Every structure is written in C-alpha cells, then in structure tokens.
A and B are shown apart, each in its own frame.
Chain A
Amino acid sequence: MTKIRIDGIQFKASEQATILEVANFLGLDIPTLCYNEGLSPWGGCRLCVVEIGPPDKSRLVTSCTYLIEDGLIVRTGTKKIIFARKMILELLIAQCPTSKVLQDMASKMGLKKIRFKPKWEKCIYCGLCVRMCEEQMMANAIGFINRGNQLKISTPFNKTSDLCRRCGGCIYICPACTLRCEGANPSSALCNGCCNELQPTCLELNENYNCWMGLKGECGTCVKIKEKKEVI
C-alpha cells in the first residue's frame, strides 16, 4: 500500500493506482476527456492535470497517467490548475465548438470567452475511438495519420478498412461527434447556455479550493456569502 496526501486527505491506496483513480474513489472532481475506465490511459487532452509536490517546487502532471508514489502530495484545484485547464478548454472549444461535452465543461468551469478564431473541426484527436477500436473491439481498423497540424484519424490509406465491422464503438465513445451542441454559432464559438452564475469564489480568496465537501463551490454557499458581504 502507498500513502499519499490528496487535497489534504491522507489516503492509502494500491501501488498500481493512478492519481485519477484515487481522486475518483474519494469523490474529488477532476475533469477528463480522453480518459475512459475501460481503456488504457492516454494523457492526451491534458484537462486532468493536477499539481504535485511541495508548493515551491510543484509541477503539473496528468492524473490519468501518474502512478501514485509514497509520500506524494497532490492538489486537484489550485489557481494554477484552473488557469491551465481553462486555457486548454479554450483551445479545444476553438477547435471544435460543436461538441456538447466541451461546451458543458465550459459552462461548469465558468469559461466565458474564446479568444481564438473557431476552426469548426469535427475532431479533437483525443484518441478514444482509436483505443476503443483496438482495445475493446480488437479491430485496429482506425488510427492516427500524419502529425502536428496535419494530424488526422482515419483508416489505412483513407480507404474503407476490411477490419472494420461497423460496430459503431468509435461513434459511441466520441465526445465530439455524437452529442452536438447547437448553441455555438459563427458569432460566438461558446454556448454558455448551461452556465449558471453560481461560480465558485474560493479561488478569489484562496490559492486553493478549500470547500470542505470537495464540491469546489458548486453548492453556491461561498457565492452567497460573498454576495452578503458585498451588500453589507
């Protein structure tokens, strides 16, 4: 068993566990996109970053790939993390504004602006479909082609693959093409239709979310307290 400290909670977990698994077990909310329990960790979307190490030497790592080690200190909701996550989400929404998964995440995180020109692409290259096809459907019909700004997901030589059984596993798991958000339009790449005003205020007061319920302000208590103070 390995002892770690995550958001102030001392916890013992098996050596083979990742930070994300421990956080999920404890009910700590870490947003993910390219992660799925049934597939091997990929570490591509970078949304699940958490801060590890003592504050002066801390760094960000992806919680889905990082195996816990003895004495590890993890924080899952600091200013640095939220700053990074919001920027990454901004990049992803600018790439594919029609994804409902992304738009919902933006509303939840309180992302209010997209400063990049929308690309209106249909894919965010999270690789879930590729891993689904390979690891669960044992088909290996699709894969990545090219690299960098030319990256695509396709069948070999862009031709219908004999290996594909049309099971639809890739469509089922896709966070971009199945669930569409209709809110994004040429005038605004951001929907924000599901955004409420109950955005956590903890980070305005502290370096770290310190909500005792691990809800990171979702309950709205801290918002109400702040409003009260402003009225007085």
Chain B
Amino acid sequence: MTAKKRVRIAALAVASTVGALLAACTSGASSSGVVEINYSARLTGVGDDADAAIVEAFNRKFEGTYHVNRTAIDDETYKTKQITQLTGADAPDVFYSWAGGRAKDIIDAGFAAPLDGYYSQRGWNEELNALGQSLATFDGKKYFVPTMMSSSAVWYQPDIFAKEGIAIPTTIEELEAAAAKLKASGIAPFILSNKEKWEAQFYWTQIVVAQNGPAVYNNLVAGKAKWTDAPFVAAWQKLADWSKAGYYYGSPNSIGYADSTIPWTKGEGAMDVQGNWFPSTLAGSDSAATAKIDYFPFPAASGKQSTMEIYAENTLMINAKSDKQHQDAAAAFVDYYVSVEAQAMLAKGGRLFPSNINVDLTTLELPKVMLKLAGFMNSQTGDTFMHVDLAFTAKIANEFLDATQGVINNTVTPAEAAKRVQDVTDQQ
C-alpha cells in the first residue's frame, strides 16, 4: 500500500470519528425555534397511558411553540436513573419527584427550582388543593406541583363481608375480630402483596396512626421521636402477630402487586390496605370488580378518631439547572397538566384524585365508591400523614422496607427492625 493511500485512509478515519462525535454532541439540538423540553415520567401500572395522552395533547395544543419529549420507566428503574438523568446531558426539565423526604433529597441537591413565581403567575395558588400545596412547601418555598391527591384506606369485598355477617369495623379490635372470623371461614383476611416491598408500609403507618394519632407519627418524621419508641415497635408487633395468626394471603413477600388482583377476583381474600389506585388496578383485570369494591377508613383504637392518610402524588418538579426559557416551557406544560382538561384525562385513566379543585368529579364517570372516597377526603380536617416511603429519605425508607419484609416473614423481631431503622437514621 502506498504512503498516499495510507494517509488518505487515516484522514478518512479521523474525519469520520470526529464527524460521528460531533453528531453525537449535537444530537440534542432543536430546530426552528420550538422549545423542546424533556419530561421524565414514572410508570406505575395505572394511568400510564393517560400520562402519555396528556403529553400528546399538550404537544398538539402548543405545536410550533413547545414540544415535550417524554421518557417513562418503571418505579425501581426510575430511582436508578434519577441521579444520572439529573446530572447528565439532556437532563429532564420537568420530572416526577415524589413528596416528603425523597423530594427533600432532590431539593437539597439543588435540582428543584422554587416555583412560587409560577404558582402566583399561573394561578396554581387558587386552583390546587391546599394540603397539596402545603406539602409542596419546604422552608417557606414551594418546590413541586402536586397533580394528584391520593389516600389509602382499607379496601374490602362487601359481598364477602355480607356473607360472613361482618359489619364494617370501627375499631382496631373489631377489625381483628373480623379477621379472625374470616380466617375461620377459610378466607384470607388481608391480601398483602409485599414483593416490591412497598405495600406493608401502608399497614404499618396506618396502625401507628390508628393507635396513637397522627401527631406521634409526624414527630418521628420530624426527627423528634425514635423508631425504637414503644408506639412504633408495637406497630411492627401487630404486623408480626397478624402474620403468625395467618391473616395474610399466601406468602406476602412473594406476591407482587400485580398478582394481588388474582386472589381478589377469585374471592380468596377479603381486605387490602392500599392506596386509592387499587380499584383502577382491579378494573384492569376484572372490570366488574370495581362495581363491587368498597372501602372503609382504617379504624382507630377504641376511643380515638381515625385519620385517613392523604398525600400529594404525581408531583412534578422543574429542573433548577435548566435555563429560563426551558423552565418557562416546563411551567407551561405543568400548567396544562393541572388544567381541568388534563386532570380529567388523568382521573379517567385511574390516577386519582385530581389536585385541581375545579374539576367536577361527577363528570368523570368514576365508580361510586371513588366519589364517596373523594368526598371523605375533602371532609377530613386536621392533620394527616404520609407513608414511610414518601415521608423519609431513601436510605431510611429502604432500611424500613427491608426490615419490615423480615418482620412479615417472622425472621426479624419488631425490636430488631426498630433498631435497624434507628441505626440508619442515626448515621445520616
């Protein structure tokens, strides 16, 4: 091969490498003045299509001005990707942020833009649920926009209750009596699908609040109490007792959330302490089931008043590191997301309830039970609380979830679980 040929080949190689790198670098460039923003969404298995539809509707409405690129991934992978997404190129301009401790992590890291300006400019102050707004406030500033208000309750099958002659429990003692009766009839009292680790916390948190009131739990969240204190150990103890009494369907730690619909539709389990998305999940597997399902608020200990958990979900943050133009575009997207039109789409898709107080729920073709729940949520005054996974930072929450899996399996004692979580808290 001649020298000239060699040089030519080398030059070609270098040129193509450089060209390729350049192409890679500039692949994110937008054209023709449309502001493109990246939206990072989390898939939950409920209403994912609605979320996608909202993006499409926004893109149509604002064609020529804004364009949203949506990326969606399941919950676990979303947690993995958040670090690299936020710190990398093509970072999302608007993203799902959780509430509580996890949101605080992001705020502390400097990725959450304070949104008070947009709140007043776009009227979110008036439109959005008051509780949601207060949850969005950290150190006096609002950092996310709640697009959904959720709650958790005890979902049950009324026909099973009727058949077994069980009345709706109003105290924990009655709840446990009902469970015993169901067990004696061969029906699993609770379907606890804890494979993904997150369901047991609903039970635990509700037990703490039911036995002690929300203030005790919120003290723990604020760091003014220890996990090893009696109220919390007692809650774990109850979970373990129920496990030993055989009140859970099958082996909770190996039943995934998606699986839980199956014993439900077969009538093999009677109750499930779950978020208000549960009927929507059920509808996916058996549309008739939502006509039959009902709920009752988790009963308090006798003499106390029960408090329902209500919290902000589907929370959206705007990336503080994006430039003003992209932040404004993101705000436009969020504004659309909380508009009555989009909120209706979201609610119909199963993500309940809309945070926009102007949405008329009766127009949404929701099952009656959901309307009833919404009414109850609105009527609850006074303090509420958030489940562990939301309220605490990732590290503490994860240790809690792991330890609780052990408690359910009876491989970890309540005292041990408490100590483990307290140790992680102390290490912060």
Q: Do A and B bind each other?
A: no
A-to-B contact residues, CB < 8 Å: none
